[in-house]
Amino acid sequence: MLARAIAEEEYGLREEILARPRKAGLYSGLSNMLGGIVPLIPYFLPLPIFTSVILSVIFAGVALAITAFIIAILASLRVKQKITEMILVGLGTAGATYIIGRAVSMILGIHVG
């Protein structure tokens, strides 16, 4: 009951929308696939690796901004605030993951590339 109240108050989701788990799962899966492919696109192009990394970060930021825009519109939230939040959290998480990966590779003595 609390989850329903939070979903409705915080995100503007009604129970009728939440009652179709297969459809929600399909949309979620497709969105995750698309979101995972977007930052990989530059690596399939014949570009130097540094350029690919920069483009990957830009593509990820744009994808996060588009997602945040859609969420803000559907949930009647402030668009600028939601976009800023999504980009900072998304790219911040990616940066933290990169730092943790580098630290673990140094600790374990694993050198890639």
Mean pLDDT of 10-17: 61
With 80 as the cut, is the pLDDT of residue 108 above it? yes
Return phi, psi of residue 48, to 5°: -60, 150
- Confidence (pLDDT) at 16: 57
Output 68-71 pairs: Cβ under 8 A, ≥24 positions apart.
none
Q: Residue 99 has which token pair?
A: 């730092």
- Asked if residue 41 lies in contact with residue 27, where contact means CB atoms within 8 angstroms, the answer is no
Mean pLDDT of 87-96: 94
Eight-class DSSP state of 1:
-
Mean pLDDT for the chain overall = 87
With 90 as the cut, is the pLDDT of residue 24 above it? no
Return phi, psi of residue 46, to 5°: -75, 75
Q: Residue 23 has which token pair?
A: 């459809």
Token pair 């192009």 is found at: 45
pTM: 0.71
